[in-house]
Amino acid sequence: MTAETPWGNPTGERQPLTPDRVRKQEFTRTSLGRRGYSEDEVRAFLYRVAEDMAASDKEKADLRAYIDRMKQWYKEHGMNPEQAAVSQTPNVDAINILSRAQQTADAQIAEAEDYARRIVSQARRQYEELLMEAQRQAEEAANQAVGAYRASGNGLQSAEAEELERRIAYLRTFADVTQVQLRAVLEGLAQEVDKLGHVPEQAKQLAAGPLAGGSPSPSVYG
């Protein structure tokens, strides 16, 4: 919510880790580019940890479901183990199945988004580097052109003409360097962005599975 939410968390309270938080954890970069761990390895490890957490969440849920079933059994056999009445909530197995389907869908989307994010930022980096290099070469060409203009020394030299020479040389070189390569990078980027939109649609079937009442593939719940 955008307005300040007026109720804070109790101070000093540590937020429980969730698979999603683990997946999205960022690490600050070491100041020396070469130190630190391989980003891919860290990322792969985070995904493993997130999987494990999700699995343990599932196990706890299974245990709670088991307890609920026991309570239900006692109740049905007139051996009410507790004072509190068991309320009318949906079947525990249904809850678990839906939770797991959602977790599976979330994990797939997270992975796809992460992949897209890396591809796009790579393309963006490439673009920035290309542009920087083109700028460097263009500056150089512009300086050379001015040098050549001055050297030609035909007595009619003016500051405007010199500036014109500079700009023409700059733009020509800049265009030469960027034209082909930049377009290729941009096209790649546009394609990746397009794909982003399709990811959720695939995962949607997963999440909708149990609700749609179909018979979703067993692997989804595996």
Partner 1 sequence: MDTQALKDSWHLVSRSGDQVPLYFYSILFLMNPDVRDMFPVSMARQRDKLVGALGRVVSNVDRVEEVVPFLQQLGRDHRKFGVTATHYPAVGQALLATLEHFLGDRWTPTLAHDWTQAYNLVAQVMVDAANESSKVSPPWWEAEIISHETRTLGIAVIRARLNYQYPFRPGQSASISYAMRPRVWRFYSFANAPRQDNTIDLHVRMVDGGVLSSALVMGARRGEVLRVGAAVGERLTLPADVQGDLLMIAGGTGLAPLKALVEQIAYEGPTRRVDLVIGARNSRELYDYEAMAKMAAEHPWLNVVPVVSHDPFYRGNRGYAVDVALQGWRGQHVYVCGSEEMAQATVGRLLDAGVPTEQIHFDEFTSDKGRES
Ligand X SMILES: Cc1cc2nc3c(=O)[nH]c(=O)nc-3n(C[C@H](O)[C@H](O)[C@H](O)COP(=O)(O)OP(=O)(O)OC[C@H]3O[C@@H](n4cnc5c(N)ncnc54)[C@H](O)[C@@H]3O)c2cc1C
Residues forming the site for ligand X (CB under 6 A): 2, 24, 26, 113, 117
Segment 149 to 188, residues that bind partner 1, using CB under 8 A: 186
Picked from ligand X, partner 1, none, the partner binding residue 105 (CB below 5 to 8 A depending on kind) is partner 1
Contact criterion met (CB below 8 Å) for 196 and 117: no
Cα 64 from Cα 60, distance rounded (Å): 6
Hunting for tokens 């990078």 — which residue is that? 185
17/168 with CB nearer ligand X: 17
Cα 91 from Cα 32, distance rounded (Å): 55
Q: What is the DSSP letter of 29?
A: P
Picked from partner 1, ligand X, none, the partner binding residue 79 (CB below 5 to 8 A depending on kind) is none
Residue 79 makes contact with partner 1 by CB under 8 A: no
Where are the alpha helices (H) located in the chain, listed in sequence order? 19-24, 39-76, 92-152, 159-196, 199-212
The rounded Cα 87 to chain-centroid distance in angstroms is 40
Q: Which residues are near partner 1 by CB under 8 A?
A: 1-10, 15-20, 24, 53, 57, 60-61, 64, 68, 82, 84, 87, 89-90, 94-96, 98-99, 102-103, 105-106, 109-110, 113-114, 116-121, 124, 127-128, 131-132, 135-136, 139, 186, 189-190, 193-194, 196-197, 200-201, 203-204, 207-208, 211
